[in-house]
Structure 1
Amino acid sequence: MVSCVPAPYPLNIWCLTILITQVLISSSVWPPPFARRRQISMRAYPEFDAKVSGGFLIHQVGKSFLRVVPELMAPRIQFCDYSTHNDTKIKTLAHLDLAHYHTDAWDKFYQKYQERPASGSYRKVISGSKTYETERKSLHDILEELEQSEGVAGLKRLHRELCVAKPDLVARLDQYDLYPLYNFNFDAKRAQYFPQFSI
């Protein structure tokens, strides 16, 4: 969910990119420069940061709004290739927040996890982020190695550290102003756009 609607942009801007904030799973605490980012990430996720950069159990590219130029574009999963691509045609909207709901409580996460390595967001062809400790690995490889070495217990431990809003994780993130809270007001949004389904 985007915090507000982007304003109109000139025709020479082909792609608007919004970076993401990852939704944590409630643990009964609601509401509760690169080198520096790296230090913060290591403190927030002391066990798994070396494997999963920034604690994101998803891609970190964000989401994009694309200007349709059929003869010049080749859509991809999270972005779009333009034959005349250059950075001047891409603008990052740093003033907008984009909340990304990727995972759920452990039982539902594990159920989806069993499908994602083959056909979902953990496919082997999707690369992960490079960290200082590891070469570039996909989430597929990271999760596969963890499951092979530790079984389901290892996956559950990773999910708990990265995805659950435990009081200690909330405190560490809040220390660096990395724990924003949003009121999505889903009932009002549903009534506004889908009145036939409102309660």
Structure 2
Amino acid sequence: MTWGVVSTIKADLKTILNFAAWHLELGAHRLFIYLDDDPSDAFDILKAHPRIRPTVTDADYWDKHGSRPRKHQVRQVRNATRAYRRQADVDWLCHIDVDEFLLPEGSVDAVLSSCPSQVQTLRMRPMEALARDDGYPNHFKRLTLDRAARRDLSARIWPTYGSYLDCGFLSHVAGKLMVRTGLPDLDFKIHNVTVGGQENPGAAEAPALPLAHLHAKSWEDWLTQYRYRHDKGSYRSELKPAQSGRLTLHDLFTTIEADGGEAALREFFTEVCADTPDHRARLSAHNLLHQASLPLDAIRERHFPGAIDRR
């Protein structure tokens, strides 16, 4: 049972290679990596690997495949759909971001091989990383699928800001899809697919295929990405609030920043994102703490030896 990953990426070389190496290590038969730009010389390194199919989505690329969409999210789904329809020489394909890492219980191949034939789309739910300043994340907040319980737990675990969040998550709780290939006229969305007007045919949950989301690797990492996310990304104004009748994340962050500036943002980050003993204890008390190792440097060196040192 073969599987692959498609991702549209704008990141530094180390981040790109960490992502690629992790999924190669898990057994991905093919990685379709669309480089949103290529300032890092990643293309040549990726192209040299027999299981990776990189594409630089420059002006020439978009001249051939329609005009370049202004929004990154639209470019993502256009590229993912193209990979699925024209390139996918695998049995299953998932569309994920560069800060998302499959974290299977066992092997990905075993999970997919055990799927009944009527299952066409598998939903991989996220686990959001707790941020630390001294290495890659190794603790994650888990998600309960009970929506009423999520509201209650949010208020208990994050007393100041939990009522504005969905189980303490800053990013999506919908997860991403692993999709069987060969479905006619499939179109990828960010969190779903459509096939002939039907959304997510043959859908099933994949509890053995959680998705580790490194939304905030550290305070500095989060702050560096904050402004883009607030204006155009996962905190943008048009997104709905996590809980009905509450502020959107966009408005919440606008209010926090207006009241207390960067110091107030740091207080929010400490309560909701940081890997602290107190935060871990609060999550553990409700069985929402997951521990996992992400030895990304070692795995990157195994698949791309010396690639970073040579740059």
Which TM bucket (shorter chain)?
0.7 to 0.9
**Following superposition of structure 1 onto structure 2, how do residues 40-119 of structure 1 map, counting pairs within 5 Å?**
40-68=153-181, 71-85=184-198, 89-119=202-232
2:119 corresponding residue in structure 1: 13
CA distance in 2, matches of 1:83, 1:122: 31
- Cα distance, 1:102 vs structure 2: 0.4
CA distance in 2, matches of 1:142, 1:69: 43
Out of 13, 26, 32, the residue aligned to residue 132 of structure 2 is 26
CA distance in 2, matches of 1:128, 1:71: 34
TM-score relative to the length of structure 2: 0.54
- Cα distance, 1:41 vs structure 2: 2.5
- Deviations, residues 45-67 of structure 1 (Å, cap 9, x unaligned): 11101111211111111121234
**Partners of 2:237 and 2:248 within 8 A in 1:** yes
Give the partner amino acid of 1:162: V
Quick check: 16-25 or 30-39, which moved more? 30-39
Out of 92, 100, 103, the residue aligned to residue 3 of structure 1 is 103
Whether 2:151 is the aligned partner of 1:38: answer: yes
Helix, strand or coil for the counterpart of 1:54? Answer: coil
Quickly say closer, same or farther: Cα 1:179–1:82, change in 2 above 3 A: same
CA distance in 2, matches of 1:69, 1:87: 14
Query: Which consecutive residues of structure 1, in runs of 5 or more, have no partner in the other structure?
Result: none
Out of 273, 279, 286, the residue aligned to residue 163 of structure 1 is 273
**Partners of 1:18 and 1:94 within 8 A in 2:** yes
Give the partner amino acid of 2:266: K
- Cα distance, 1:103 vs structure 2: 1.1
Quickly say closer, same or farther: Cα 1:27–1:36, change in 2 above 3 A: farther
Query: Which consecutive residues of structure 2, in runs of 5 or more, have no partner in the other structure?
Result: 1-100, 140-145
How much is the aligned-residue C-alpha RMSD, in angstroms?
2.9
- Cα distance, 1:69 vs structure 2: 5.6
CA distance in 2, matches of 1:14, 1:127: 28
**What is the identity percentage for the equivalent residue pairs of Structure 1 and Structure 2?**
26
Helix, strand or coil for the counterpart of 1:124? Answer: coil
- Deviations, residues 68-95 of structure 1 (Å, cap 9, x unaligned): 5675333222322333425651111012
CA distance in 1, matches of 2:202, 2:159: 38
Count of paired positions: 195
TM-score relative to the length of structure 1: 0.80
CA distance in 2, matches of 1:69, 1:84: 16
Whether 2:263 is the aligned partner of 1:153: answer: yes
- Specify which structure has the higher proportion of strand: 2
CA distance in 1, matches of 2:165, 2:249: 8
Out of 279, 289, 292, the residue aligned to residue 182 of structure 1 is 292
Quick check: 122-131 or 109-118, which moved more? 122-131
CA distance in 2, matches of 1:37, 1:117: 24
